[in-house]
Structure 1
Amino acid sequence: MTSLPQARMATQASGTWVLYVLTDAPLLEWPMYDFGRVAPMPTVQERVRALTALGYAVADGPEWEWNATRHSPAPRHLWAAIAVRPATPASAGGDGA
């Protein structure tokens, strides 16, 4: 079972790289960042900047898990995933007074 939130990076049907955050919200409401290019693959630093723009940060280190799925007869679909957390956690306990 996938622990949410989780960021994934993959290519769209157009071939451009996108990064999106899986949350418990409906699919169409998931935050998404389009890198707007086919090549080169976004670097780790570019992915971190995209996550920041979406309001998220990597949860436990910069390790991306790469996966490939085969859609017969199409070629493999490469995608990566990493655990993320909201960049600014909600403050607990009110105003601190």
Structure 2
Amino acid sequence: MTDVRIEAGRRVDGGVTHRAHLYFQDGRWCLFVPVPGPVSDWPRHRFARRSAVPPAAARSRVLNGLGFVFTDGAEWAWIEDAEVPGDDMSPVRLSAVVVVRRADGGGS
């Protein structure tokens, strides 16, 4: 496996990377990849209604369908945010990010 460093959104070997985001809203898990341009143009997918986190294989298939693949060694990083900041009894919002690149090797 090649050791590839990521600096400021670019792989050292010149490939552009993005951060795919997964979050839960309105009873659905949603996945999107911010890319240059209007937010309305960002690749996105809303999973079927369910409370369980979509399995890793399903997330991977969706990313592939949106035209992205994981970078070498990429893993989902999970984040917990309190619905009410500073309140340790507040419900938690769970989200995740993973580093991806365009499947075709293209730029933005």
TM range (shorter): 0.7 to 0.9
SS at the partner of 1:38? coil
What's the counterpart of residue 47 of structure 1? 59
Is the aligned partner of 1:5 residue 2:5? no
Alignment of 1:81 with 2:93, yes or no, is no
User: Unaligned regions of 5+ residues in structure 1, if any?
Assistant: 91-97
Per-residue deviation at 1:37? 2.0
Q: CA RMSD in A?
A: 2.1
Q: Secondary structure at the match of 1:22?
A: coil
Q: How far off is 1:77 after superposition?
A: 1.0
TM norm structure 2: 0.71
Consecutive aligned runs of 4 or more in structure 1 exceeding 3 Å deviation = none
1:26 CA displacement: 2.5
**Quick one: percent identity of the two aligned structures?**
32
Shift of 1:62: 4.5
Q: Which structure 2 segments of 5+ residues have no match?
A: 1-7, 10-16
Work out whether 1:35 is the aligned partner of 2:47.
Answer: yes
Q: Count how many residue pairs are aligned between Structure 1 and Structure 2.
A: 89
